[in-house]
Amino acid sequence: MKNFSKGLACVLAAVVLTAVLTGCGGRAGGRTIIRIGHNQSTNHPTHIALSEFETWIESKLGDKYDVEVFPSELLGSQNEMVQLTQTGAIHFCVASNSLLETFSTNYTLFNLPYLFVSAEAYHAAMDDAAITGPIFASTKDAGFEAVTWLDAGTRNFYTVNTPIETPADLKGLKIRVQQSPTNVQMMQLLGGSATPMGFGEVYTALQSKIIDGAENNELALTDNGHGDVCKYYSYDMHQMIPDILIGNAAFLDSLSEEERAVFEEGFELVNQVQREAWTDAVAAAKDRAANEQGVQFLYPDTKPFQEACAPMHEDMLAQYPDLRPIYDAIQQYNEQYPSAAS
């Protein structure tokens, strides 16, 4: 991705310049251009869902809005895109919940390792507005609002040449983590050496042996080529971290009631389309990784990993006691939807 950085910088500079000269997003033929950035490929469920959002908004409000979706970090890294959304240089972007904890500590909750015991509990909790509402609104003062969540599966470790069967296998390995204090702490507790960096830099870092591995869902192996370099993918299941679609708060507030209703339906559509496409995308990625890239999938006992990270739950609740009721509500979903293994 770095090879394109000059071209990307030009796109970004043009977008920012247009925004500065014309106000948030710019105008084309009397229509406001709504720019949405994300860091996935055009095959990814997130891009497919945002393209449907584009069609939806233009079918309902096409005389007023022209939606443009920019994939593959074309508008910058996730961190940069969040800042562009904050200032209103772009209207929306998709950010991992991990990154958002540096904008509001409330988001720390969804980054906790082993917070959800099953995908069903995770989905039910994220669909519950009583759980997400207070967290999603908490960045309004920072200039942006979370409008829906997107599935990003389960995060697991993968390495160039070390099968990870227990936390002890991580010792001495440099593992890329997302740029968030929670992820760094998790890696420290598990015994590896945390190397935070942006998503777009991971492939080159793996290839040039700056890092020994990373952690992500299966799509990173295929869509981002990490499986060309990493041959062991270990289902330790440490996190289910949602991606979040965020929007510029001033823009959202400027919408009329009718327009806001259309946008809300669009956000719901993004969520539905993305999660419907997710399961098939993971199955296809796994198949390709195993059969074309030669990745070996491992299924270690997850308990020792979970035990190593367990202190993080009480630590977080002691630090942010306001999050306790939401944490407890998540435990109810965990009881309702136990893991298949338990």
Binding residues for ligand GCU, rule: CB under 6 A, are: 39, 78, 96, 152, 178, 199, 216, 220, 243
Q: Which is nearer to ligand GCU, 125 or 219 (CB)?
A: 219
Spell out where the chain has E strands. 27-28, 31-37, 65-70, 92-96, 144-150, 155-159, 174-177, 193-196, 213-216, 232-239, 243-248, 296-298
State the minimum distance, in angstroms, from the CB of residue 74 to ligand GCU. 14
Q: Which is nearer to ligand GCU, 125 or 240 (CB)?
A: 240
Counts for the chain of helices (H) and strands (E), in that order: 14, 12
State the minimum distance, in angstroms, from the CB of residue 261 to ligand GCU. 28
State the minimum distance, in angstroms, from the CB of residue 80 to ligand GCU. 12
State the minimum distance, in angstroms, from the CB of residue 22 to ligand GCU. 29
- Bridge partners, 155 (sequence order): 239
**253-258 CB contacts, 8 Å cutoff, 24+ apart:** none
Instruction: Please answer whether residues 219 and 274 qualify as being in contact, where contact means their C-beta atoms are separated by less than 8 angstroms.
Output: no
State the minimum distance, in angstroms, from the CB of residue 197 to ligand GCU. 9
State the minimum distance, in angstroms, from the CB of residue 176 to ligand GCU. 8
Q: Which is nearer to ligand GCU, 124 or 219 (CB)?
A: 219
State the minimum distance, in angstroms, from the CB of residue 220 to ligand GCU. 6
Instruction: Please answer whether residues 77 and 9 qualify as being in contact, where contact means their C-beta atoms are separated by less than 8 angstroms.
Output: no
Question: What are the structure tokens assigned to 322, written together?
Answer: 């306001």
Pairing status of strand 31-37 against strand 92-96: parallel
SS3 143: coil
Q: Which is nearer to ligand GCU, 34 or 285 (CB)?
A: 285
Q: Which is nearer to ligand GCU, 18 or 207 (CB)?
A: 207
Q: Which is nearer to ligand GCU, 41 or 87 (CB)?
A: 41
H helices of 23-139, where? 45-61, 78-87, 97-100, 119-126, 129-136
- Bridge partners, 216 (sequence order): 156
Distance CA 110, CA 274 (A): 19
Q: Which is nearer to ligand GCU, 78 or 138 (CB)?
A: 78
Angle, nearest 10°, between helix axes 324-336 and 119-126? 130
State the minimum distance, in angstroms, from the CB of residue 331 to ligand GCU. 25
State the minimum distance, in angstroms, from the CB of residue 228 to ligand GCU. 16
Distance CA 283, CA 169 (A): 27
Q: Which is nearer to ligand GCU, 32 or 178 (CB)?
A: 178
Q: Which is nearer to ligand GCU, 32 or 156 (CB)?
A: 156
Sign of torsion over alpha carbons 245, 139, 217, 339:
negative
Q: Residue 160: count other Cβ atoms within 10 Å of its Cβ.
A: 17
